[in-house]
A and B are shown apart, each in its own frame.
Chain A
Amino acid sequence: MDKKIFTDPFFRKNPITVLVLGICSSLAVTVKLEPAIVMALSVTLVTGFSNLIMSLLRNTIPNRIRIIVQLVVVAMLVILVDQILKAYSYQVSKQLSVFVGLIITNCIIMGRIEAFALGNKPLPSLVDGLANGMGYGMILVAIAFIREFFGSGTLFGIQIIPLDWYVKNGGFYENNGLMILPPMALIIVGLIIWIQRSYQKELVEE
């Protein structure tokens, strides 16, 4: 198996910065690190297993209803993940519950099924799905780190910036309120894409 299937999604073909998939959820769940990490893990599991299942079924699926079949499989996996979390890791599931809908509609999942799983063997498809989930998660965590640190002065909910630096306590510092609003996520994604493109000249259009 080509090991590029695993390594490409992290940088050269990152789903967010290069394929520009899954942008919607990277805006919604990156205010704090913890939900971002939970989201990254869940998406990784769902992309991995939906790719695997779709790859196993790929020769039997009637072409006209393939999108419906994909949706049903993805939705089933998301509901299973949610149910299992609710039973065995209740706190995490509470973090996730809002974002379940977002996982089902996450463009990466459908995108990888269409682009990869329907044309490849099960094992490479599983690896492709997991790697894309992780590539997505990596960017998600990076954005969440920046937004939580500058927007709330905390990381994982723990105060990092000393409280007596704040203006209200007689200091000089103020949290950047823009950071916790969705547009800032888009701006940070834009900055990350800019950095990546300055390294990877072949991505730059004529």
Chain B
Amino acid sequence: MDTNKNLYTVIYSIIMVVVVAVVLALAAYLLKDRQQRNIEIETKDMILRSAGLASQAESAADYASYIEGEYDKYITDTTVTSGGESLPLHISRKDGESFYILPLRGTGLWGPIWGYITLMNDFNTVHGIVFDHKGETPGLGAEIKTSEFSDQFKGKKLFEGTNFVSVLVVKGGTGAIDPHKVDAISGGTITSKGVEDMLKSSISKYLEYFNSNKINPAEVSDSTFINLPDTTGQNK
């Protein structure tokens, strides 16, 4: 058979495209549930890690159900209104203490970066933070994912008096002492700047909520509930 005829070429291409499309569509359809679940588990894992929970995830026999179990145990999902927007907020309660977990969204060098920041109930002190990224350079920008980078944020302050200054990511040296600065990643300047901008823009959306709920940190006792938004929806 002459495989160089026009008609043969056209029919061949059509069949090829249809077969490939069916295979790919089928694969996407069959795998979708599992992929969605993976993404969900990953989000929960990040939220838990930013709150300093789920430390045994690495060694857990069933990683997925361990994460889900821990999440259900400690984390409450809710939304708050701030600046006319409805924003997600996760609250972690453990041993009578409450922590407030805010999502972070921003852009790095090559694509989106994101993370979760956990604040103490003074809405000022950083309890923990995690970052992730879509495609930052391995060894450079991608280092934001490491605990060496994110551990620097622990204990940093977002406010100077009543002014929101966020946490700045700066060139080496000053990070350890200054309560508003952490060391950037050498070679990952644009990603580091991206982290700084992400913190500023993501957290500033919640400022109104913070201000309306803020209590002098000295007055906060373990059992204080700071005007918690209704999470059950039963009273509506």
Contact = CB atoms under 8 A, between A and B. Distances in A.
**Shortest Cβ-Cβ A-B pairs, 5 listed:** A31-B139, A87-B34, A90-B38, A87-B31, A98-B135
Interface string B132-148: 00110111100000100
Interface residues of B, number: 29
Most A Cβ at <10 Å: residue of B35, B39, B110, B134? B35
5 contacts: A60-B3, A69-B16, A87-B31, A151-B139, A152-B139
Interface of B: 3-4, 8-9, 12-13, 16-17, 20, 23-24, 27-28, 31, 34-35, 38-39, 42, 110, 134-135, 137-140, 146, 186-187
Looking at A61, A98, A151, A157, the one whose CB has the most chain B CB atoms below 10 A away is A98
Contacts of A1: none
Given A79-B24, A80-B27, A87-B38, A35 B16 contact: no
Contact of A61 (B3, B138, B139, B140): B3
Nearest to A99: B135
Given A148-B139, A181-B187, 7 more contacts: A31-B138, A60-B3, A80-B24, A83-B31, A90-B39, A98-B135, A180-B187
A86 B12 contact: no
A31 B187 CA distance: 13
Nearest to B1: A60
Contact of A65 (B12, B20, B31, B42): B12
A61 B12 contact: yes
A3 interface: no
Q: How large is the interface on A (under 10, 10 to 19, 20 to 34, 35 or more residues)?
A: 20 to 34
A88 B4 contact: no
A72 B20 contact: yes
A62 B3 contact: yes
Most chain A CB inside 10 Å of its own CB: which residue of B39, B138, B139, B140: B138
Given A80-B24, A80-B27, A83-B31, A29 B12 contact: no
A180 B27 CA distance: 37
A76 B39 CA distance: 23
B3 A63 contact: yes
Contact of A86 (B8, B13, B38, B134): B38
Contacts of B31: 83-84, 86-87
Contacts of B4: 62-64
B186 to A, nearest CB: 7
A97 interface: yes
Nearest to B8: A62
A61 B15 CA distance: 12
B21 to A, nearest CB: 9
Contacts of A181: 187
Of B16, B39, B187, the most chain A CB neighbours within 10 A belong to B16
A186 B19 CA distance: 40
Given A32-B139, A83-B27, A84-B27, A177 B186 contact: yes
Contacts of B9: 62, 64-65
Contacts of A29: 138
Contacts of A59: 3
A59 to B, nearest CB: 8
Contacts of B27: 79-80, 83-84
B16 A97 contact: no
Contacts of A32: 138-139
Nearest to B33: A87
Contact of B12 (A62, A84, A180): A62
B27 to A, nearest CB: 5
Interface in A145-171: 148, 151-152, 157
Contacts of A79: 24, 27
A83 B38 contact: no
